[in-house]
């Protein structure tokens, strides 16, 4: 069974603590997919494979991204770890023969997001950021609740939450996270305007 093959590969390539995180992301992605009525199997698969490249060394991440012809921006060059999502999609494709473009995109988008990303990508992005192991603050509880009510709003607010943490800890911010936040913020605001007009 494919899931067993992925878990066996993970056992050889990532620490046990990371596997626990991956399994929690898988559980949350399944719950969100069921709630939002999208393909549960796809959500489970993308979540299980989202961190395939998490423990690759910086040189390996850069080399694989370059070989594939991926765009490597200045932030990823300084912090190649940010490439683990895009490279993870390559591993899913080449090692596990995943050819579903939406699943591969969900893996590639789980860290920085992507403006206009699919519902599946939103679910994996949120499950990765909000799984129970991330903490139990009132703010996280609120974000988890929002992810069941309104996925697009949850993506925007989760980006806000991540950006605040990055600013507070003086870390580099990837421009894609900002672009994702702005796109989903505008989408939510525009749909609220439409609702206001028809009310």
Say if CB 13 and CB 52 are below 8 A apart: yes
Domain count, the chain: 1
Kindly state the average pLDDT of the residues 163-173.
96
| Measured distance CA(189)–CA(199) in Å, rounded | 15
pLDDT band for position 54 (cuts 50, 70, 90): very high
**Sign of the dihedral defined by the CA atoms of residues 27, 28, 29, 35, in that order:** positive
pTM for the predicted model, two decimal places = 0.96
The predicted pLDDT at position 194 comes to 72
- Quote the tokens at residue 129: 């950021």
Largest CA distance in the chain: 56
Does residue 49 register a pLDDT over 90?
yes
| Measured distance CA(11)–CA(9) in Å, rounded | 5
Kindly report which listed range (49-58, 162-171, 189-198) carries the lowest average pLDDT score.
Answer: 189-198
Residue 76's domain spans which residues?
2-198
Does residue 23 register a pLDDT over 80?
yes
What CATH code is carried by the domain that includes residue 81? 1.10.3210.10
Average per-residue pLDDT for the chain: 96
pLDDT band for position 195 (cuts 50, 70, 90): low
Angle between helices 138-149 and 151-168 (to 10 degrees): 150
pLDDT band for position 193 (cuts 50, 70, 90): confident
């Amino acid at each position: 069974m494919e899931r067993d093959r992925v878990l066996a590969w993970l056992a050889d390539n990532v620490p046990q603590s990371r596997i626990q995180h991956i399994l929690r992301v898988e559980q949350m992605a399944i719950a969100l997919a069921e709630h939002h009525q999208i393909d549960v199997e796809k959500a489970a698969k993308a979540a299980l494979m989202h961190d395939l490249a998490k423990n690759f060394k910086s040189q390996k991440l850069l080399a694989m991204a370059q070989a594939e012809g991926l765009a490597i921006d200045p932030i990823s060059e300084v912090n190649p770890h940010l490439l683990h999502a895009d490279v993870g999609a390559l591993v899913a494709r080449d090692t596990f023969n995943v050819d579903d473009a939406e699943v591969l995109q969900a893996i590639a988008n789980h860290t920085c997001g992507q403006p206009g990303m699919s519902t599946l990508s939103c679910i994996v992005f949120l499950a990765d950021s909000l799984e129970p192991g991330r903490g139990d603050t009132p703010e996280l509880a609120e974000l988890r609740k929002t992810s069941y009510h309104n996925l697009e709003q949850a993506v925007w607010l989760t980006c806000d939450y991540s950006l605040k943490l990055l600013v507070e800890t003086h870390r580099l911010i990837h421009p894609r996270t900002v672009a994702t936040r702005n796109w989903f913020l505008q989408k939510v605001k525009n749909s609220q305007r439409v609702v206001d007009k028809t009310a």
